[in-house]
Amino acid sequence: MRKTNAALSVLATGGLVLFAVGCSSGRPLPGPNTQQNPGPAKEMQIKQSMLAQDVQLTDELCRSQCALDFKTALHQLKSDSPANVKSKLTALQQEHEHIHYVEWLGGAKGAGPAVTEGSIPGNVQQEASPHLQEARQKVQQGQPYQSQAIGTGQERYFVLGVPSDGGGSGLVGLIHQDVLHKVEVDLRKNLRLVPYPSDKRYKIESVDSNTLRDKTVTHPEQNEGTSHYHVNEVVVKFQQDPTPAELERMKADIGAESARKVGNTYIFRSTRLEAKQLMGYFQQKNVVFAEPHFLYMTNETREPVGPTGPTGPTGPTAPTAPTGPTTAAEPNDVLYKKYQWNLPAINTLPGWNINKGNQDVIVAVVDTGVDLTHTDLREHLIGGYNVVKEGTDPQDDVGHGTHVAGVISALVNNGEGVAGMTWYNKIMPVKVLDETGAGNTYSVAQGIIWATDHGAKVINMSLGNYADAQFLHDAIKYAYDRDVVLIAASGNDNTAQPGYPAAYPEVFAVAATDSNKQKASFSNYGDYIDAAAPGVNIASTYPKNQYAALSGTSMASPHVTALAALIRSVNPLLKNTEVMEILRKSASDLGTPGKDNYFGYGQIDVAKALEMANQNRGSLSMVTDWVDRELLEIAKKYQRMG
């Protein structure tokens, strides 16, 4: 495989641009024309439509999961005293913060609620009151109820009523849907429908990644091929570590506010010099490189997931799951059958007949962190690392990393939420992007190194930019040389501009497809693409025990990551290069016969890949390689011990 690895000279410019490779939302666009470039104006229209569809689907998923949560709670309330009911409603509300108010109707028709918990906000009380009354009546008649939307923006709610199985009693509640506003705001940013980054948290400049000239981004269409860097910072790798005296002299020369170190590489922040001046200064020193400190961002869409009640809004429905070989039983996760078209599309179920995963094969999610308390994830989480704020947990404050983690390893067959692709593999959350969904070269590189040193066998990177940063590449090579399988999303700008880290030769680059096995309209392409995976309307976990349907190459990447983990679970002796070769050889060819720029070697096929890995078990050459590697590690250990 040939990767495009166009070196971008930092000497010719003051910086390079980073893009977020998260999700770009939307329904599948039928027909082969999705492979063509639609033009800037048309592309903006498509993304606007995707945004609206994703928000609507999020509403649907939210309603579904809340109905399930109410039904689950009712099973525990059947014979309890009012005091016990009160405590259980309190627990329900604490676990699901979006349930602002809930009442239990104990079976006395015409009477008021037996027990209540929470409160109804004054600004929606008048509008919610008739819906609550109608919900009580429906529930006491044994019928479910869902109201239309109440309020707007961050103050959007709906009333939910769920009867008990025997009728007469049930739960009625007011559900806060601020998640819809959050999804819309973040999608505009992550789909590049607004100039991004638009917030003022970072002092940054932008450059065109082709010409390396400074660029002013005033319109979302100008985001394509643009990278961002910190105005007053520079990344420097020395040939030899400077002495303390030399370091202090350099800091004084540039007016350094801070200097962080990773190996022989430093990130200097100056109080008076900008990046171009800083690079000019350090290029006179004994350095391997001096480059801008690039900014990395996510690029995803979000939507909570759940089955709608009979009286709820119809809205768009998720793509119908394609039929295919399903020799394994379908999981009982409540959102699987209706929303997870993606797993049957890549033959996941027959693949589970071969292997469902192994807890010893650890997958690092280098992202915004993961929701550590999510009921559909927490059993599969192990200790991680917060690079953004050291000493604190890698808790997700964005949602992107939680969604990625759920695609890989949400609990399977637990009767709720979604099914992950692996049943047993552990997730190592590594937070390298902050609450804005952005991070820098230092944090991403540090996260990769930390995950490698702490046992990760596969690393997912649903992030990136258009800049070939040598500092990041050093971290990639560090992990690759230690037998880690590295998977990255290609980006959501529908451009052939190579994105990094996906375009590095050590990384497996992933494009996105829709349910029609067409190129997702937003997916980046080029000769560096290795394979494709589903990336449109992907249902997965979301913070605060919610679920969301997101789209983007950020969602495609974890499908491949999960498959790499399953391959290593089948055959732990495979080297990272062998795992990547199986991913390529087992892919189902799409588009132009053979490898092409849109799909690489094709869409991944779980069953075929695991069968190939299984056939290679016990190979004498692999056993020999494993023994050689173990002996080498022992030799290195004794060498370090002197």
| Catalytic residue (one of 24, 462, 554, 569) | 554
Q: DSSP letter string over 34-96?
A: GGS---HHHHHHHHHHHHHHHHHHHHHHHHHHHHHHHHHHHHTTTT--HHHHHHHHHHHHHH-
- Tell me if 117 sits within 8 A of 86, measured CB to CB: yes
| Catalytic residue (one of 367, 376, 530, 605) | 367
Residues 6+ apart with CB under 8 A from 86: 115, 117
Going by C-alpha positions, the residue among 366, 375, 361 that lies closest to residue 394 is: 366
**DSSP summary character for residue 500:** B
The pair phi, psi for residue 384, each rounded to 5°, is -125, -155
Going by C-alpha positions, the residue among 575, 579, 578, 541 that lies closest to residue 560 is: 579
- Tell me if 368 sits within 8 A of 431, measured CB to CB: yes
User: Distance between CA atoms of 590 and 437, rounded to whole angstroms?
Assistant: 32
Q: Is 514 a catalytic residue?
A: no
Tokens of 551: 């789209």
The pair phi, psi for residue 314, each rounded to 5°, is -70, -60
Q: Is 367 a catalytic residue?
A: yes
User: Distance between CA atoms of 400 and 410, rounded to whole angstroms?
Assistant: 14
Q: Is 554 a catalytic residue?
A: yes
- Tell me if 308 sits within 8 A of 32, measured CB to CB: no
The pair phi, psi for residue 19, each rounded to 5°, is -125, 160
| Catalytic residue (one of 98, 100, 228, 400) | 400
Angle ∠(326,332,336) on CA atoms, nearest 5: 70
Strands (E), 476-570: 485-489, 508-513, 531-534, 538-542, 546-550
User: Distance between CA atoms of 599 and 526, rounded to whole angstroms?
Assistant: 9
Please give the positions annotated as active site. 367, 400, 554
